[in-house]
Amino acid sequence: MSHVFGRGGADAPVVARARGCRIWDTGGRSYLDASGGAIVVGVGHGVAAVADAVAAQARQVAYAHGTVFRSAVVEEYADALAPLLPVDDPRVYPVSGGSEAVETVLKMARAYHLARGEDRHVVVARDGAYHGSTRGALDISGRAGLRAPYLPWLGQAQRVPGPYEYRCPFPDRHPGGCAAAHADALAAVCARTPVAAFVAEPVAGAALGACVPPEEYWPRIAQVCRRYGVLLVADEVMTGFGRTGAWFGLEHWGVRADLLAAGKGAGSGYWPLGLAVASGRVHAALAEGGFTHGFTYSHHVVGAAAGLAVLRELRDRDLVAASAARGAALAARLGEAVGGHRYVGDVRGRGLLVGVEFVADRRTAAPFPRAARVAERVVAAARGAGVLVYPGTGCADGTDGDLIVLGPPLCVTDDELTEIVAGVAAALATLD
Ligand code: PMP
């Protein structure tokens, strides 16, 4: 009997070692990690330079409290990040993961408006979205099933539809197109209530199967935010650090965020690292109005050393461009191999964040009943074929659905892409 609470069941394999895109269990079996864990491992497993940076920093000084000491490595990390972030004059608040980053930017949004004398507290997020497991992050998440056990403790946020071209939430075409309809939906909420922040992923992540918005979506959303004085909060926990083929997802649309949350690829699995980022304008208001916040492990020196080493790997190995090229190849090859399968409704994505959505009927796009557990079955069958993929059990409109997401380390090779596609095809064949 194990005393560990939560996570892998008793029959889960025991992990032994990992290198590149591959993980081995203690039985000697190898798996191709086509999801980088939970879309975490950007630079690949077993990178000695990152592990060494972590060890060297821990040997030198592993912990010093951020209220007492400044630290050169944390400052160097924030300075190295600054030119890469889609945020003007960014100020970086390092934390321990994505949920902490989301909690932090939500509090920053509230504090910003209070500092300016405005009592705005409503946050608008999107149907189906996932922003984390902690109270505030779950509250704004659009997955009703995850919030349900905690109502009425949660449930304060308001929601608008997210872009979902496969099942467009605005089937009666808006004269200005789909992006205009999304912008109008947000504007309608802002017109009737004082909204503090709009929170969304640039490319809707794993929970929603890598939904890419239409070209005009982000510029129009940014316009609405500006018009109503609403802070634009980018959740780049999954899309950051090269995952979508740009350093950060918003870059694809040339849009800047007021606040940004990152995690996952920041530490690439080598350290639990998250980042809450405020623009210079937001930071100035917080500096004046006050911002009471802090975690024991925020501004962690080893986290900063890991983050710096990850940045170096991404840069020196040109992994962001690799993500764009390999991601396009993966989506195209998957489309060829399984796009015509009778249960595949849609293959989509940007960079190395690729989703495959399953439907019971391709003609009507009708989903399977959730009880059929199609996503879980595909994930299990792919694992049987030696390929690890990430399941999604909801659609981008918040309803139940079945999908898998692929997000291998950005160093994935061409041969490994072939293996991934073969693994997914083999898994799908078991559904027939
Ligand atoms: N936001 C997004 C978009 C995520 O994908 C996740 C994690 N899946 C989170 C927030 C929460 O991050 P963490 O699990 O590191 O707390």
**pTM for the structure as a whole:** 0.97
Bridge partners of 349, per DSSP, are: 354
Interatomic CA distance for residues 139 and 270, integer angstroms: 29
Same domain, 243 and 120: yes
**Residue 62 CB: number of other CB atoms within 10 A?**
11
CA of 103 from ligand 1 middle (Å) equals: 11
Q: What is the pLDDT of residues 35-65, one digit of tens each?
A: 999 999 999 999 999 999 999 999 999 999 9
Same domain, 324 and 278: no
Q: What is the 3-state secondary structure (H, E, C) of 264-328?
A: HHHCCCCCCCEEEEECHHHHHHHHHHCCCCCCCCCCCHHHHHHHHHHHHHHHHCCHHHHHHHHHH
CA of 32 from ligand 1 middle (Å) equals: 22
Torsion of CA 261, 262, 263, 265, to 10 degrees: 170
Mean pLDDT rounded to a whole number for the chain: 95
pLDDT for res 306: 98
- The answer to whether 206 touches 39, Cβ cutoff 8 Å, is yes
- Interval 102-111 mean pLDDT: 98
pLDDT for res 388: 98
- Interval 263-289 mean pLDDT: 98
Considering the domain boundaries, does residue 9 fall inside one?
no
Nearest to 166 by CA among 399, 421, 419: 399
Same domain, 103 and 73: yes
- Interval 196-204 mean pLDDT: 97
Same domain, 350 and 311: no
Q: Which atom of ligand 1 is nearest to the CA of 236?
A: 3
Show the domain range for 231: 50-316
Residue 187 sits in a domain whose CATH number is 3.40.640.10
Q: What is the pLDDT of residues 359-369, one digit of tens each?
A: 999 999 999 99
The reply to whether omega before 152 is within 30° of 0 (cis) is yes
Boundary residue ending a domain (268, 299, 316): 316
What residues flank ligand 1, with Cβ below 6 Å? 38, 97-99, 102, 130-132, 201, 205-206, 235, 237-238, 263
For residue 19, what is the enclosing H or E element?
strand 15-19
- The answer to whether 255 touches 218, Cβ cutoff 8 Å, is yes
Ligand 1 binding pocket mutation candidate from 7, 40, 131, 295 (most atoms within 8 A of CB): 131
pLDDT-derived band at 208, boundaries 50, 70, 90: confident
Count of domains observed in the chain? 2
pLDDT-derived band at 429, boundaries 50, 70, 90: very high
Q: Judge whether residue 167 has pLDDT over 90.
A: no
Instruction: Please give the structure tokens belonging to residue 19.
Output: 């290198």
Interatomic CA distance for residues 131 and 129, integer angstroms: 7
CA of 134 from ligand 1 middle (Å) equals: 10
Do strands 353-358 and 400-406 pair parallel, antiparallel, or not at all (unpaired)? Answer: antiparallel
Between the alpha carbon of residue 237 and those of residues 200, 267, 346, 368, the distances in Å are 11, 11, 24, 29
Considering the domain boundaries, does residue 10 fall inside one?
no
Q: Judge whether residue 119 has pLDDT over 90.
A: yes
pLDDT for res 77: 98
Considering the domain boundaries, does residue 4 fall inside one?
no
pLDDT-derived band at 427, boundaries 50, 70, 90: very high
Same domain, 325 and 285: no
Same domain, 106 and 255: yes
pLDDT for res 60: 98
Same domain, 388 and 402: yes
Boundary residue ending a domain (299, 316, 333): 316
Same domain, 374 and 354: yes
Considering the domain boundaries, does residue 284 fall inside one?
yes
Same domain, 254 and 299: yes
Ligand 1 binding pocket mutation candidate from 96, 99, 244 (most atoms within 8 A of CB): 99
Instruction: Please give the structure tokens belonging to residue 351.
Output: 């960079």
pLDDT for res 247: 98
Same domain, 264 and 387: no
Looking at ligand 1, which residue's alpha carbon is closest to its atom 12?
A: 98
Same domain, 282 and 387: no
CA-based R_g, the chain, Å: 21
Considering the domain boundaries, does residue 6 fall inside one?
no
Angle (nearest 5°) at CA 199 between 196 and 203:
160
Q: Judge whether residue 130 has pLDDT over 90.
A: yes
Nearest to 380 by CA among 333, 347, 330, 423: 423
Instruction: Please give the structure tokens belonging to residue 183.
Output: 């912008």
Boundary residue ending a domain (297, 316, 335): 316
- Interval 268-285 mean pLDDT: 98
Same domain, 64 and 196: yes
Residue 420 sits in a domain whose CATH number is 3.90.1150.10
pLDDT for res 265: 98
